[in-house]
Amino acid sequence: MANVNELIGKVLTRIDDSHADELLFYTEEGACYRMYHEQDCCEHVYIEDICGDLTDLIGVPLLLAEEVSDDRAPVGEWDESYTWTFYKFATTKGYVTIRWYGSSNGYYSESVNFERYEEAAE
């Protein structure tokens, strides 16, 4: 596992958001980072919203890359356990917040995974 703040100072060349509830961040160094959740039984973790334009994160160094949790109300009234996770990014071009929501019966993970991804980076 990696920490999202590893992206601070890096220049992204591309962000692939073509897969449902998974983002791939490609750096000019040739590295790729993956933000996702490995779904299991009795849980659901997904990107609830992206505030800002992901293209504002391309081509200039990242000045901010952080993970923050929040204690907001659940999306569904029947969610026994839930977690809000926010990923905040900033460059000189703009800010982006990726809002993840996870719910479960309380026995499964609601967290988001962030890792250096070893698939062929572009």
Res 17 pLDDT > 90: yes
- Is 33:24 a contact under the CB 8 Å cutoff? yes
Quick: pLDDT tens for 101-112: 988 877 777 889
Taking the C-alpha atoms of residue 35 and residue 115, their distance in angstroms, rounded to an integer, is 7
pTM recorded for the entire structure: 0.87
Q: Give residue-wise pLDDT tens across range 44-96.
A: 889 999 999 999 999 999 999 999 987 777 777 777 788 899 999 999 999 99
User: Residue 74 CB: number of other CB atoms within 10 A?
Assistant: 14
